[in-house]
Structure 1
């Protein structure tokens, strides 16, 4: 049975890539958000965005961060990571820069967003895994993620339960 997860990603450049992974059928969770709906949420200001995140993260066992070229350091990505950790949810990153976007383009590898957080005297990145599929061809990256996604999520939940 697919785990219920919340997916976090930089919307404009990585929505297509994120949807490729979400459509694999390996996870359940927040549904695809249209650009119109996301614009409606963001027009409501910070409180509306926080409420949307809270509502969509509720009942999920894990947060999967799709790491693109410019994901790390973004305000709402950071908020989602912090909330996931504080709420005791599994947390895992997957680099998606080598998946093609809707125009057939790949991107540069982004930095690990978990580097921006500390848990006690440790970097969160030393606890939470951030996978970088070992291929540069989009088809093979997709297949690697599809083959491993469920295991990565289960491992993230175990790691969080032990920390």
Structure 2
């Protein structure tokens, strides 16, 4: 099943690494085998201010069933990432965390592993952490190119979607 995925990440710091994940479907035989469809123009929206960003995030979440949180060194510190995570859970999206620190940047360098932002949020009804309910993977070590579609499906199933 093809699912629409919203990608949450620290745009300024991790855009290149996130692009490797977000665009991985381009080299798959078709979008169904990649397991997701995604498209966004963050740069243009960011120039319009906080209210526009909030509207854009809310609009991009519409029609999605899973939010993939791409975790870099500073992702957990980003207010918009935290907003996206909370809003995703409110709308019933499944979550999947993906460490991207092992993806080499354009200079061939890896990064420092950051804190999983899913561990910083709790469900209001049970108090359990999002990271206890949803899985987190390493894009490189867990072969994200081959397994991302399965991770998305797993997250959707956990959320009951």
Separation in 2 of the partners of 1:23 and 1:15? 11
- Preserved contact between residue 4 and residue 66 of structure 2 (Cα < 8 Å): yes
- Preserved contact between residue 5 and residue 29 of structure 1 (Cα < 8 Å): yes
- How far 1:63 sits from its partner (Å)? 0.7
- Preserved contact between residue 99 and residue 142 of structure 1 (Cα < 8 Å): no
Residue correspondence of structure 1 range 26-65 to structure 2 within 5 A: 26=34, 27-31=36-40, 33=41, 38=43, 40-65=44-69
Residue correspondence of structure 1 range 7-86 to structure 2 within 5 A: 7-25=7-25, 26=34, 27-31=36-40, 33=41, 38=43, 40-86=44-90
Once superposed, what is the RMSD of the aligned Cα atoms? 1.8
* Unmatched runs of 5 consecutive residues or more in structure 2: 26-33
Deviations 1:92-147 (A, max 9, x none): 110000101122221001111011111122111111111135xxxxxxx1880011
Segments ≥4 residues shifted beyond 3 Å: none
> Are the structure 2 counterparts of residues 53 and 6 from structure 1 closer, same or farther at C-alpha, using a change threshold of 3 Å?
same
- Preserved contact between residue 138 and residue 144 of structure 2 (Cα < 8 Å): no
- How far 1:54 sits from its partner (Å)? 1.2
* Unmatched runs of 5 consecutive residues or more in structure 1: 134-140
Separation in 2 of the partners of 1:143 and 1:121? 29
Bigger shift: 109-118 or 142-151? 142-151
For normalisation by structure 2, the TM-score amounts to 0.85
- Select the residue among 110, 114, 135 that pairs with 1:129: 135
For normalisation by structure 1, the TM-score amounts to 0.84
